[in-house]
A and B are shown apart, each in its own frame.
Chain A
């Protein structure tokens, strides 16, 4: 058995039309047909399977219908077709498998404009499942996560081995963040004291906090939400 790389963490940053084009090109015929029907059902919000709606059933079975490598993108498209708002996304997240939860996190920047879905991001950041942590630090978190929780998210990525490049808008949000710099310095000191290597990603993130590294024209956009 060859290990299968998990779906790319960038689903949340890809235009939905591009996701659809990619899937159409890569799914086999039965999966393509299944997806078209699932999207129609979701758009019509039609039908039910026992206690759950048809589109939520499609969301649950996306992995076995389209393959695990395509499931994130398929689920994001179904959530979009169903026009899932914060309430539906919260329900689907809490009733979902880890794979469904990851898809909800990827869908947030496409479907929720305000901060209402932040509890889902915070829930994912409390887990130790690196696939959920990676999905949580996408564009939605970059837009809405407060400074304290965002810094802890960056630190958690370093702790759990999630590449810091996964953190959306890292360059912008890290810039001139002296508190993040202090936390990274302290973590590096703790690693060094224990005789453990300091992750290369830590040095990279630390360099981004250097205010001198930023262009003067961008400085006013530095976020301290």
Chain B
């Protein structure tokens, strides 16, 4: 089983997780930029974080045979903090980088005017840079948040086929699907979705446009949830092709909209001799 986790915060995870993920079949991840648990107090903190998502973290992933990409954005929660919002001006120079495969996570947390502004501005940035967008749906007041999110998407320059609406559940999947967006589900040990409910949704709505992620971070979460969903799908009668579509081909298709997916893993064992021309014919 080959697995692409389309939403996982590896910065918050250990190398043991990378090893276990590889063993479980994970060969590619996308790490969306997000809140760190502790509020940031300046744009500089974001820049170091973005640099890490484009430097150290892909190196760490490659050491374990996993191709790492990221999405870059000002997250919804910190869009409310005027100390952080100037980072919006820094985003364009990040959105041109190789391996940045979407603008995200953007969306709503508390549905404030500041969040409206940041969401609309960043959907426009996605359109300007030929990138899709990863849009988080709020934990509180979720259905209202989804509707408002879809309204802003409709008013944006980005088509719904370039938007992945994430953290969906039984109450929000229908309208997100009707809007024509890609459908993201986060499977957690206690909150969000679990494996059984995920398989039930797949049975009801089919595997088209559906992406399953672990959204693993520094909270109670499990980076192997993608594999557990795949196993349960097989046990419940889905075919291997269905599993491959949900856990590999759908994320490849969505993030492939960026034209920047590179699923080969660079060797990082530093033992490669290099080809002769690059080594000056030595």
Contact = CB atoms under 8 A, between A and B. Distances in A.
Specify the main secondary structure of chain A where it touches its partner.
helix
Contacts of A19: 277-278
A129 B59 contact: yes
A63 B51 CA distance: 17
Contact-residue bracket for chain B: 35 or more
Interface stretch (B32-40, B144-152, B168-176, B268-276): B268-276
Contacts of B93: 50-52, 60, 95
B264 A68 contact: yes
B55 A163 contact: no
A127 B67 CA distance: 20
A95 B273 CA distance: 28
B278 A64 contact: no
A47 interface: no
Given A1-B264, A63-B262, A98-B54, A9 B97 contact: no
A141 B264 CA distance: 31
B27 A1 contact: yes
Most buried by B among A1, A61, A166: A1
Interface in A167-181: none
Interface string A67-89: 01001110000000000000000
A98 to B, nearest CB: 4
A3 B279 contact: no
A46 B98 CA distance: 22
B262 A68 contact: yes
Interface of B: 27, 51, 54-56, 58-59, 65, 67, 89, 92-93, 96-99, 259-260, 262-275, 277-280, 282
27 contacts: A1-B67, A4-B264, A5-B267, A5-B272, A8-B273, A8-B279, A9-B274, A9-B279, A18-B277, A22-B277, A22-B278, A49-B96, A50-B93, A51-B92, A64-B259, A68-B98, A68-B264, A97-B54, A98-B55, A98-B56, A98-B58, A101-B55, A128-B56, A131-B270, A133-B270, A163-B270, A163-B271
